[in-house]
């Protein structure tokens, strides 16, 4: 890196630090915060996640400094990332409360993060006021983080990916990511977890459940949830019909059959089996090399998404480029230009070197 580039990067880090310091009472020192996170200080972890969730591009230099400092301090601890998806009301949060507490009984430390694409509209979050994780949220071996009310899904997903790393550095060896199974959010959650679990309701067809075929194909494990009371038989039937239709799908890359299980988070039935199955998938994948291969691919995909964001931010920083954007986006809105041609001319008109 040239000394000129280095000093402009340092300037940006300094400026971001000053801005943050002026907003917060205490000093923000990336290496100190990183050390505190690795020691397991929850407040520092929460503060760091807030920084990486910031939508303000001027917070990015400090965020990357912090992430690098954390990476330098944490060494290859064995961790497991579990994604839980399904429509609102399927019982994801209730399921996670039980799964998380069971994991803690096994000696794990558990972090729960949420990705909620609807938070922009509602201003709320899936974990929000009704977390349904009452016990987990206050447990000393758990860290429960509500979904950020960020504007762009890309932003939420990017921040969550990095939050996973921060939680692991803080000693949470199990990280559970909750996401609503509508929209595109589950695609990005798929890309940040090791085991992707789909929760379904018994007796309802795919359409009713808002489940796109593609999501079923992405799942490593399907749980027909709320298998209790007079719903048990229906749930068993639904599970069987999914098992039958999964036969038509190609064998997943990991080489493990997609199990369809039934469970209830009220009675606890099936929970032990689900937890054990998740552990056995991870174990088999570690043995076969698939676990590491999947994580490495996810790492390089993340670099790609980050680069896209950074390039766009960089171009927007240039005032004339920003002004062009406004003009062109008006033309797109009024139908004068196609979105593609406007984007093309915007990118090539003011090339930022």
Ligand X SMILES: Nc1nc2c(ncn2[C@@H]2O[C@H](COP(=O)(O)OP(=O)(O)O)[C@@H](O)[C@H]2O)c(=O)[nH]1
Beta carbon nearer to ligand X, 70 or 201: 201
Beta carbon nearer to ligand X, 266 or 352: 266
Q: What is the dihedral of CA 99, 100, 102, 104, to 10 degrees?
A: 160
**224: β partners:** 200, 262
Name the minimum Å distance from CB 91 to ligand X: 3
Binding partner of 177, given Mg ion, ligand X, none, CB within 5-8 angstroms per partner class = none
- The single residue among 79, 93, 179, 197 that binds ligand X, judged by CB under 6 A, is 93
Question: What's 318's DSSP letter?
Answer: S
As given in the structure block, the two tokens for residue 104 are 């803690």
In sequence order, what DSSP letters do the residues of 74-91 get, joined into one string? ------EEEEEEE-TTS-
The residue of the chain with the least Cβ separation from ligand X equals: 91
Site for ligand X in 266-295 (CB under 6 A): 266
With a CB cutoff of 8 Å and minimum separation 6, the contacts of 300 are none
Does residue 94 interact with ligand X by CB under 6 A? yes
Binding partner of 98, given Mg ion, ligand X, none, CB within 5-8 angstroms per partner class = none
- The single residue among 145, 174, 226, 277 that binds ligand X, judged by CB under 6 A, is 226
Q: In angstroms, what CA-CA distances link 25 with 4, 31, 60, 123, 124?
A: 32, 18, 20, 27, 27
Name the minimum Å distance from CB 178 to Mg ion: 6
What is the SS3 assignment for 114? strand
- The single residue among 265, 277, 285, 342 that binds ligand X, judged by CB under 6 A, is 265
Name the minimum Å distance from CB 266 to ligand X: 4
Contact 192, 297 (CB under 8 A): no
Does residue 88 interact with ligand X by CB under 6 A? yes
Beta carbon nearer to Mg ion, 66 or 163: 163
In sequence order, what DSSP letters do the residues of 193-248 get, joined into one string? -SEEEEEEETT--TTTTT--HHHHHH-SEEEEE---GGGHHHHHHHHHHHHHHHTT
Binding partner of 91, given ligand X, Mg ion, none, CB within 5-8 angstroms per partner class = ligand X
Does residue 236 interact with ligand X by CB under 6 A? no
Does residue 264 interact with ligand X by CB under 6 A? yes
Beta carbon nearer to Mg ion, 16 or 126: 126
> Which residue spans within the chain are E strands per DSSP?
80-86, 110-115, 142-145, 174-180, 195-201, 221-225, 259-262
- The single residue among 17, 19, 132, 306 that binds ligand X, judged by CB under 6 A, is 132
Binding partner of 266, given ligand X, Mg ion, none, CB within 5-8 angstroms per partner class = ligand X
Which residues make up the interface to ligand X (CB under 6 A)? Answer: 86, 88-94, 132, 225-226, 228, 264-266
């Amino acid at each position: 890196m040239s000394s000129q580039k280095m000093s402009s990067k340092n300037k940006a880090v300094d400026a971001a630090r000053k801005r943050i310091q002026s907003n917060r009472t205490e000093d923000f020192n990336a290496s100190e915060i990183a050390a505190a996170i690795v020691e397991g200080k929850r407040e520092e972890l929460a503060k760091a996640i807030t920084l990486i969730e910031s939508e303000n591009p001027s917070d990015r230099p400090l965020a990357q400094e912090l992430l690098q400092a954390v990476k330098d301090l944490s060494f290859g601890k064995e961790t497991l990332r579990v994604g839980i998806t399904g429509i609102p009301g399927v019982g994801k949060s209730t399921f996670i409360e039980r799964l998380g507490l069971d994991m803690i009984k096994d000696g794990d430390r558990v972090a729960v993060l949420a990705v909620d694409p609807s938070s922009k509209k509602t201003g709320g979050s899936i974990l929000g006021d009704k977390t349904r994780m009452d016990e987990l949220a206050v447990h000393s071996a758990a860290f429960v983080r509500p979904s950020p009310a960020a504007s762009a899904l890309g932003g939420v997903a990017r921040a969550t990916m990095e939050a996973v790393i921060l939680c692991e550095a803080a000693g949470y060896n199990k990280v559970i990511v909750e996401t609503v199974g509508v929209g595109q959010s589950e695609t990005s959650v798929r890309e940040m977890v090791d085991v992707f679990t789909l929760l379904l309701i018994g007796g309802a067809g795919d359409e009713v459940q808002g489940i796109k075929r593609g999501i079923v194909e992405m799942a490593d494990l399907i749980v027909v949830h709320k298998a209790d009371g007079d719903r048990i038989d229906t749930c068993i039937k639904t599970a069987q019909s999914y098992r039958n239709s999964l036969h038509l799908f190609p064998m997943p890359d990991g080489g493990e059959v997609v199990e369809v299980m039934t469970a209830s988070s009220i009675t606890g039935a099936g929970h032990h089996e689900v937890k054990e199955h998740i552990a056995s998938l991870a174990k088999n994948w570690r043995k076969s090399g698939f676990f590491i291969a999947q994580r490495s691919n996810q790492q390089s995909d993340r670099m790609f998404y980050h680069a896209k964001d950074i390039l766009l931010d960089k171009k927007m920083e240039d005032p004339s480029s920003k002004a062009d954007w406004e003009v062109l986006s008006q033309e797109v809105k009024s139908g004068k230009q196609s979105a593609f041609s406007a984007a093309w001319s915007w990118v090539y008109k003011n090339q930022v070197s």
